[in-house]
Each structure stands twice: as structure tokens, then as C-alpha cells.
Amino acid sequence: MKQLLFLTAIYVFLATACQNEQSVHSDDPATAEETSLPEMSVYHLPGTWTNQDGQEFELKELKGKVLVMVMIYTTCKAACPRLIADMRRIEELVPEKYGDDVQYIMVSIDPETDTPERLKSFAAENDMTDKRWMFIRSTPEYTREFATVLAVNYKRISPMDFSHSNIISVFDPQGEMVYQQEGLDAKHEKTIKNIVEQAKKIGNR
């Protein structure tokens, strides 16, 4: 069911993008590269993101690595610390030889509070300053679009708190979702298996 929702969301966004960009130059190298991506790749999604170092980028710039993503917010005191712990445990369990092929990404659902400075501080507080860890934010609109694609629901329930889905998503090097781990303190075996399977494809290991 989650996979169906993911495919539906991607289809809607791509259809909208195609209508808006039919006049864009077909010989543009960037456009040609995008058309070479799988139809359901998240790298087709529009929008600019900012990481904890204040650097702006587009999702397609992450192409070529296995992505492990979770949506959180830094002022969360309940579920998010456990999701962070799950991400740390997954990173520890992935064999070291695949370490540089995997990017672990925390996506803020509260971009108004989670400035780059706040994300950088949060990364340091959690000892997640290695290059494998990225903390990113975008506009509320792009964040909501991305959450829809991941089938992550969230809603502000107070000035400082959100209710939200607890889902860790794995994407292949071309940006297609291959697996989702749902719930807190879930078993990680299938998640690790999917990460390793995708990492093996990088460099034909």
C-alpha cells in the first residue's frame, strides 16, 4: 500500500512538472540527465534544499549513493530521539566497506525552527558530524510535497510539537524507493539487507 502511495505521489508531481516544463530546451544537458533517471525517481522532484552547513542543493545532486532518510524535527522530545537512535544503529550495522556509498539524511518537518545553524548544532549534540550524516530543510511547501512522496504524515499540534509518521526510507542510487521501515525500535535486518543490496550495485562490487 505504501509503495502504491509513493508511486501515485511521484506520478502526480511528475505530471505537473511535465505540464509546466514542456517548453524547456530538450538539448539542455541537465534535462537530458534527468530524463535518463527512472520515472519514479525522487530526483525528478523540484525544489531547493539547505543542509546543516548552509549549502543549497537539489535532491538530484545526491544521485549515485544509497539514501537512508527519515523525517524529524529537532525540538521533538518523544519519537524523534528514537528515530535518530534507529538511524545510528542502522549506520553501525551496515558493513564498513559500504560506508562511503550510503548517505544518511534527516529531513526537517519544521523548517521555520530548524535553521541551518540549529541543524548543525543538533548534529553536534548527537555526535553526527561525519560526512555520512546530512540534516536538511526546505520550504514548508517542498517539505510537504516530499513527505507526501514518502507517505509520511505530519501535523502541528502545538507551537512546538508535531504528530508524525515514524518511517525510515531507503532509496537506490537512482532515487527510487526500495524499502521502508515503519515504527519505532523496529527490527533492522530487512533495512540493512536492502541498503547492502543497493550499495553493492555501486562500482559493481
d(CA 52, CA 111): 12
Sign of CA dihedral 152, 4, 149, 134: positive
Burial 170-193 (b: 16+ CB within 10 A, else e): bbbbbbbbebbbeeeeeebeebbe
Express the helix, strand and coil content of the chain in percent, nearest 5 each: 45, 20, 35
Which H or E run contains 140?
A: helix 140-149
CA nearest to 195, candidates 69, 42, 41, 66 = 66
44 marked as part of a ligand binding site? no
164 marked as part of a ligand binding site? yes
18 marked as part of a ligand binding site? no
Helix (H, G, I), strand (E, B) or coil at 134: strand
State the binding site for Cu cation.
76, 80, 164
State the binding site.
76, 80, 164
